[in-house]
Amino acid sequence: MSELPAWSLPHDAAKDIALGTDWPAEVTREWAWGDATGKGVRVCILDSGVDASHPKVGHVESAVAVSKDEDGAAFVAEDVEGDVCGHGTACAGIVRSLAPDAEIHSVRVLGPGFTGGGNILLFGLRYAIEQGFEVINMSLSTTKKDYAAVLHELADSAYFQRTVLVASAHNMPVESYPWRFASVISVGSHEEDDPMALYYNPNPPVEFFARGVNVEVAWMGGDVLSASGNSFATPHVSAICALVRSKHPELTPFQLKSVLHLTAANVGGNR
Amino acid sequence: MSDLNSAVAAAALGSEERFRALLRSVVEVARAIFAAKASSILLLDEASNELVFEAVVGEGEDDLLGRRFPAGTGVAGWVLATRTPLVIEDVARDPRFAKDVAEGTGYVPQGLMAVPLLHDESALGVLEVLDRQSRFTLEEMELLGLFATQAAIALDLLRRARHAEAALAGDDELSAVARLATALDGLDEEARPGAQQLLDALATVLKRS
């Protein structure tokens, strides 16, 4: 019976879905990620690639790039070029700074010359979900409505298989995806300097705010820049998710989002 | 039919110059509001996949206008490809990412804000504001978004005007109609009713044939 999906709950089956977590009466930051380092959690940076040699990144566990063959079909191959922009390295460096023992995996969805487009993005996201990464950082979005339905499906499948998709909200009032979907954790910026300061937004679609202004980030060529934008707020939340998942691996994305809510500075945070 | 309409409109408005002036005024205001050293608007030339400086004020003004570079390079290229704004300080530390602005001008900015110019689902170009006086705030990001909306509309108008002019140049019938529209536009009040009667008569004849 246990092989079947749990479409319903017979009266004698409640004991089978007892929660693994000893959920405390009060969820504190200490309970959520105290002493956690991100160990055992794989964070995927779906971006421009990651410069593994950057001192702020340290080590990249795996790196692939999505390209198109002569017939226009997308495929995944080992990434030998690293970062083509600096953006992915910046995101990876932020994750490393907060979750030092998390594994960083890079899936590059932009080629040299920033070629790529929606199909490569979709293919890369599907690939990342298939790998079962615990956290996928997506400091990217697409404005193409044609891709919205497929992205929505992918975001839901990630959610149901316990892959947390953390996605940047757009900095401008435009429709873009996948951050608008309820199955992802969407992130905008606040202006504070505390990298662990997280705010819950009671007026979605942007659900959380994290540090995204004047952030010291790793960039290409071993460099460090000060950068701003939701792109850089997002990996802060990815890192916090990695910390929580390393301490509480049994949490589902829904439960994880609840933990983020309960530990947000404007909800119950700083306890 | 849309070509005809826009061709006539283009001829009647003498539009390209006006839209260029509008673009220039957007970057002038942006530069003033942000107390920046320079501001520019880059248009994506889809045929060649290059970004072209369509409006520039401040540093580099004399050299950059009309200059083009591959759309797959630099901060502007990244912003265009990802359709996401980017704000970076200390850019000069990594000249590769300022080279779209710096190449050939000797001007390497310290900091820059770049925002995509979005129209419907496509990115038409990029608005850049270089070397602001202040430390970046979220309020500036909002302001930049407002400028971007305005610049995107101006850029769309410019594209349409060029498209219309191209259509006009390659089509004798359209040119004739556009010349007629321009002539009509130039008439004084007294001559107008007569011209209108002529046009109505022409329309009647054309309908019969």
pLDDT tens-digit series, residues A54-95:
999 999 999 999 998 888 889 999 998 888 888 899 999 999
Burial of A26 (0-12, 13-18, 19+ CB in 10 A): exposed
Q: Is the pLDDT of residue B6 over 90?
A: no
B29 touching chain A per CB within 8 A: no
Interface of B with A in 74-103 (CB under 8 A): 77-78, 80-91, 93-94, 96-97
pLDDT band at B1 (very low <50, low <70, confident <90, very high): very low
CA distance linking residue A211 with residue A229, whole number of Å: 9
Contact criterion met (CB below 8 Å) for A244 and A33: yes
Give pLDDT, residue B128.
94
Mean pLDDT for the stretch of residues B4-8: 62
Measured at the alpha carbon of residue A156, what is the angle toward residues A153 and A162, in degrees to the nearest 5? 140
Q: Is the pLDDT of residue B102 over 90?
A: no
Q: What residues of A are in contact with residue B97 (Cβ under 8 Å)?
A: 86, 219-220
Give pLDDT, residue A262.
94
| Closest Cβ–Cβ partner in B72, B83, B85 for A113 | B72
Q: Which two tokens stand for residue A72?
A: 């226009």
Measured at the alpha carbon of residue B87, what is the angle toward residues B153 and A142, in degrees to the nearest 5? 60
3-state secondary structure of A182: coil
Q: What residues of B are in contact with residue A190 (Cβ under 8 Å)?
A: 138
Q: Which tens digit of pLDDT belongs to each residue from B104-142?
A: 556 777 888 999 999 888 889 999 999 988 888 899 888
Q: Is the pLDDT of residue A3 over 80?
A: no
CA distance linking residue A234 with residue A226, whole number of Å: 16
Q: Which tens digit of pLDDT belongs to each residue from A238-265?
A: 999 999 999 999 999 999 999 999 999 9
- Domains within chain A, CATH numbers bracketed: 33-263 (3.40.50.200)
B72/A112 touch (CB, cutoff 8 Å), yes or no = yes
B121/A115 touch (CB, cutoff 8 Å), yes or no = no
Only one residue has tokens 């004084």, namely B188
pLDDT band at B8 (very low <50, low <70, confident <90, very high): low
B84/A231 touch (CB, cutoff 8 Å), yes or no = yes
Greater pLDDT, A271 or A230: A230
B96/A116 touch (CB, cutoff 8 Å), yes or no = no
A221/B80 touch (CB, cutoff 8 Å), yes or no = no
B93/A225 touch (CB, cutoff 8 Å), yes or no = yes
Greater pLDDT, A214 or A19: A214
What percent of chain A stands above pLDDT 90?
71
Q: Is the pLDDT of residue A25 over 90?
A: no
Give pLDDT, residue A6.
66
Chain B nearest-CA distance from A218, in A, is 12
| Closest Cβ–Cβ partner in A142, A172, A226 for B145 | A172
Q: Output the pTM of the full model.
A: 0.86
CA distance linking residue B113 with residue B40, whole number of Å: 11
**How much of chain B is in helix, strand and coil states, percent to nearest 5?**
55, 20, 25
Only one residue has tokens 């109505």, namely B200
Greater pLDDT, A175 or B3: A175
Q: Which tens digit of pLDDT belongs to each residue from B153-184?
A: 988 988 888 887 777 777 777 777 777 777 87
Q: Which tens digit of pLDDT belongs to each residue from A164-195?
A: 999 999 888 788 899 999 999 999 999 999 99
Q: What residues of B are in contact with residue A112 (Cβ under 8 Å)?
A: 72
| Nearest-Cα residue of chain A relative to residue B123 | A143
Radius of gyration (Cα) for chain B, nearest Å? 21
Buried b (16+ CB within 10 A) or exposed e, A185-197: bbbbbbeeeebbb
Give pLDDT, residue A65.
95
Mean pLDDT of chain B: 82
Q: Which tens digit of pLDDT belongs to each residue from A204-224?
A: 999 999 999 999 999 887 888
Strands A215-218 and A224-228: antiparallel
Chain B nearest-CA distance from A208, in A, is 15
pLDDT band at A20 (very low <50, low <70, confident <90, very high): low
Q: A45: Cβ–Cβ under 8 A, 6 or more apart, which residues?
A: A88, A91, A92, A95, A104, A105, A106, A107, A137, A235
State the CB neighbour count (10 A cutoff) for residue A128. 27
Give pLDDT, residue A1.
45
Chain A nearest-CA distance from B144, in A, is 9
SS (H, E, C) A64-99: EEEEECCCCCEEEEECCCCCCCCHHHHHHHHHHHHC
Q: Which strand ranges, in their side-by-side order, compose the sheet holding A185-190?
A: A74-78, A62-68, A103-108, A42-47, A135-138, A164-168, A185-190, A208-211, A199-200
pLDDT band at A233 (very low <50, low <70, confident <90, very high): very high
B118/A174 touch (CB, cutoff 8 Å), yes or no = yes
The distance of Cα B82 from the centroid of its chain, to the nearest Å, equals 20
DSSP string for B23-85: HHHHHHHHHHHTT-SEEEEEEEETTTTEEEEEEEEETTHHHHTT-EEETTSHHHHHHHHHT--
